[in-house]
């Protein structure tokens, strides 16, 4: 009898302990669980500590109250996040909840056993994650699901407002020179030359600081609307996907011709000559914009309107006068006469759990908590009278907060890792609020930039073929080669442009780019005959 009881206990105790470990009563653990969460550090002027501030306190208190989960945030530099995540994963020191834009990095470590397969947890606890599935749907939750193995190594956040970049020019300079908004490449170049030729009129004693067109070392992102205007409008979804593993569209047809234009502008003295000297995240270019020296740029659609009193829109008015402002324009038509913009599918950052995560259920509940409308709404707009004004119709107007309640990222995107884009629960309120979501900025600038960067847009297709082995571990290396290739091509002498670009492209392809293309072609044929 004693022996039988002992055997029974040996069987049941482990099961009981395993059950207790994941036992949820009304979504709350009986014993406190602890998780660490990655958060981007943007090194903002006047910002708060990204891992310890008013909004992290809100999250910590809510998770303890609702799920009995203690949350600790771990900062990762935004502009080197891929390298940092690589280092943390390699050292088995990554946060329990990680965020990245680079899926190949996730797949690389997943293949080595360094990333947790979420599939079984998502299936088992789906009923305990109603807000996550309601927000993302099966589409985004299972976007990365391998069609062969069924593994899910990452969940794709929802890109709620599918925005990218705009062409932005100084509206006050156009008026001062009697120029209309440029609508073609020829007119745009003529505008840049007019800025340069009239530097004394536009900048007075600072005429020598004139920068007709500014760009950064991430040329692929910053020149996107120009370079893709050279892409044939009849390009197929298949070709875009096979050659689209680099999200800067480097390998799309005719891309080189867009870079050739930038090379010409650089040699004509129309582009900021020192742009190669400053790495991603450096604030020098922003300061030049704030000072009023930059005439035009291609940038994130709302870039000059961010950051309230510390932002470009507010500072340029202080230094250059109340009329100084950037306005979005349509500058470049493609071969079909269309202002084509290529927007991504409705997916954003990849949220994944390293294999070192001992609390996957608590981590999924964290994502569900963030997905709850009331929670993400508070994170996105903050407190009434402090970070927003509630309008009579229910929409909100953003107020530039100071001190502990300042937001380090627009609508606290670095904390709402399940969604990118303001969502108040109703589309009409979202549209109205977005237009008023930039403190101190006339909403017509927001409305125009939002409209132009989506005008005549095309959503790129996704083909789920599982892991592309040739992509594994290649993200950072190919990104560096791409950035160097594009920067060097722009600053090359005009006579050397083809040699520099072609040599760099040959190196990019031989260093892994061609292998990725070949495998994507094969996988496409396998799954989409």
Task: Break the chain into its structural domains and give their ranges.
Answer: 27-158+348-422, 165-343+460-527
Give the bridge partners for 413, in sequence order.
Answer: none
127: burial class by Cβ within 10 Å (0-12, 13-18, 19+)?
Answer: exposed
Predicted pLDDT of residue 482: 98
- Over residues 294-309, mean pLDDT: 95
98 alpha-carbon distance from chain centroid = 15
Is pLDDT at 294 greater than 50 in this prediction?
Answer: yes
- Over residues 17-44, mean pLDDT: 81
Strands 294-300 and 165-170: antiparallel
Q: Identify which of 382, 409, 413 has the alpha carbon closest to the alpha carbon of residue 398.
A: 382
Q: How far apart are CA 35 and CA 362, in angstroms?
A: 7
Is pLDDT at 290 greater than 60 in this prediction?
Answer: yes
Q: Identify which of 199, 406, 211 has the alpha carbon closest to the alpha carbon of residue 294.
A: 211
Angle at 306 between CA 413 and CA 454, to 5 degrees: 80
Are 264 and 490 in contact, with CB atoms under 8 Å apart? no
- Over residues 440-469, mean pLDDT: 92
Predicted pLDDT of residue 473: 83
Predicted pLDDT of residue 216: 97
- Over residues 449-456, mean pLDDT: 93
232: left (phi over 0), alpha (psi -120 to 50) or beta: beta
Are 84 and 77 in contact, with CB atoms under 8 Å apart? yes
pLDDT band at 243 (very low <50, low <70, confident <90, very high): very high
Q: Examine domains 27-158+348-422 and 165-343+460-527 and report if their fold is the same.
A: yes
Is pLDDT at 94 greater than 90 in this prediction?
Answer: yes
pLDDT band at 465 (very low <50, low <70, confident <90, very high): very high
- Over residues 127-146, mean pLDDT: 96
Least confident of 66-75, 320-329, 341-350, 433-442: 433-442
Angle at 269 between CA 266 and CA 273, to 5 degrees: 65
Is pLDDT at 3 greater than 50 in this prediction?
Answer: no
Angle at 249 between CA 339 and CA 304, to 5 degrees: 60
Gap between the terminal Cα atoms of the chain: 64
Predicted pLDDT of residue 427: 83
Q: Spell out a b/e string for 337-358, using b for 16 or more CB atoms within 10 Å of the CB, else e.
A: eebbbbeeebbbbbbbbbbbbe
Predicted pLDDT of residue 518: 98
Instruction: Give domain 27-158+348-422's CATH number out of 3.40.50.300, 2.60.40.1930, 3.40.190.10, 3.20.20.70.
Output: 3.40.190.10
3-state secondary structure of 40: strand
Q: How far apart are CA 451 and CA 123, in angstroms?
A: 39
Q: How far apart are CA 103 and CA 115, in angstroms?
A: 12
What's the CATH architecture for 165-343+460-527?
A: 3-Layer(aba) Sandwich (3.40)
Residue 515: CB atoms within 10 A of its CB come to 16
Predicted pLDDT of residue 381: 94
3-state helix, strand, coil in the chain (%, to 5): 50, 15, 35
Q: How far apart are CA 483 and CA 508, in angstroms?
A: 10
Predicted pLDDT of residue 22: 59
CA dihedral 241, 247, 251, 257 (to 10 degrees): 130
Are 168 and 357 in contact, with CB atoms under 8 Å apart? no
114: burial class by Cβ within 10 Å (0-12, 13-18, 19+)?
Answer: middle
- Over residues 334-346, mean pLDDT: 95
Least confident of 137-151, 246-260, 340-354, 419-433: 419-433
Instruction: State which of 47-51, 143-147, 222-226, 453-457 shows the largest mean pLDDT.
Output: 222-226
Q: State residue 236 phi and psi, 5-degree precision.
A: -85, 160
pLDDT for 373-425, tens place per residue? 999 999 999 999 999 999 999 999 988 887 889 998 889 999 999 999 999 99
- Over residues 218-225, mean pLDDT: 97
Predicted pLDDT of residue 17: 33
E-strand stretches of 437-504: 457-459
- Sequence-distant (6+) residues with CB within 8 A of 67 are 27, 28, 29, 33, 362, 365, 366, 369
Mean pLDDT, rounded, of the chain: 92
Q: How far apart are CA 437 and CA 233, in angstroms?
A: 34
């Amino acid at each position: 009898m004693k022996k039988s009881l002992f055997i029974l206990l040996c069987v049941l105790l482990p099961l009981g302990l395993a059950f207790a470990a994941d036992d949820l009563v009304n979504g709350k653990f009986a014993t406190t669980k602890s998780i660490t969460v990655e958060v981007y550090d943007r090194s903002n002027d006047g910002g708060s500590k990204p891992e310890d501030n008013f909004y992290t306190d809100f999250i910590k208190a809510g998770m303890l109250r609702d799920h009995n989960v203690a949350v600790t945030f771990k900062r990762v530099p935004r502009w080197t996040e891929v390298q940092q995540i690589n280092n943390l994963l390699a050292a088995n020191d990554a946060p329990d909840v990680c965020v990245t834009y680079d899926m190949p990095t996730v797949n690389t470590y997943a293949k080595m056993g360094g990333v947790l397969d979420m599939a079984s947890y998502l299936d088992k606890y789906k009923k305990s994650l109603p807000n996550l599935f309601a927000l993302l749907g099966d589409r985004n939750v299972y976007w990365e699901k391998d069609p062969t193995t069924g593994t899910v190594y990452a969940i794709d956040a929802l890109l709620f407002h599918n925005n990218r970049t705009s062409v932005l020019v100084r509206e006050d300079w156009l008026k001062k020179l009697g120029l209309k908004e440029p609508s073609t490449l020829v007119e745009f170049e003529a505008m840049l030359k007019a800025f340069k030729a009239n530097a004394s009129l536009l900048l007075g004693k600072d005429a020598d600081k004139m920068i007709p067109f500014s760009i950064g070392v991430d040329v692929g992102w910053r020149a996107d609307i120009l370079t893709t205007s050279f892409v044939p409008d009849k390009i197929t979804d298949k070709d875009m996907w096979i050659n689209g593993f680099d999200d800067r569209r480097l390998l799309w047809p005719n891309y080189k011709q867009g870079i050739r234009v930038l090379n010409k502008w650089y040699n004509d003295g129309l582009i900021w000559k020192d742009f190669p000297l400053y790495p991603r995240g450096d604030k020098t270019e922003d300061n030049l914009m704030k000072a009023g020296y930059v005439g035009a740029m291609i940038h994130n659609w709302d870039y000059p309107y961010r950051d309230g009193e510390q932002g470009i829109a507010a500072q340029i008015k202080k230094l250059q006068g109340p009329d100084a402002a950037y306005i979005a324009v349509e500058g470049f038509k493609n071969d079909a006469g269309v202002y084509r913009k290529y927007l991504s599918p409705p997916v954003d950052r990849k949220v994944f759990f390293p294999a070192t995560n001992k609390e996957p259920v608590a981590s999924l509940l964290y994502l569900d908590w963030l997905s709850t409308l009331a929670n993400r709404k508070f994170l996105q707009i903050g407190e009434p009278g402090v970070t927003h004004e509630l309008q009579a119709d229910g929409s909100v107007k953003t107020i530039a907060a100071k001190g502990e309640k300042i937001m380090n990222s627009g609508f606290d995107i670095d904390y709402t890792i399940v969604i990118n884009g303001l969502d108040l629960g109703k589309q009409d309120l979202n549209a109205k609020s977005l237009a008023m979501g930039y403190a101190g900025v006339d909403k017509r600038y927001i409305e125009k930039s939002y409209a132009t960067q989506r005008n005549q847009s095309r959503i790129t297709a996704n083909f789920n073929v599982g892991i592309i082995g040739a992509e594994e571990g290649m993200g950072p290396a190919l990104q560096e080669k791409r950035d160097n290739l594009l920067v060097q091509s722009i600053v090359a002498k005009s006579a050397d442009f083809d040699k520099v670009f072609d040599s760099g492209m040959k190196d990019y392809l031989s260093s892994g780019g061609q292998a990725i293309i070949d495998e994507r072609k094969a996988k496409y044929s396998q799954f989409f005959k």
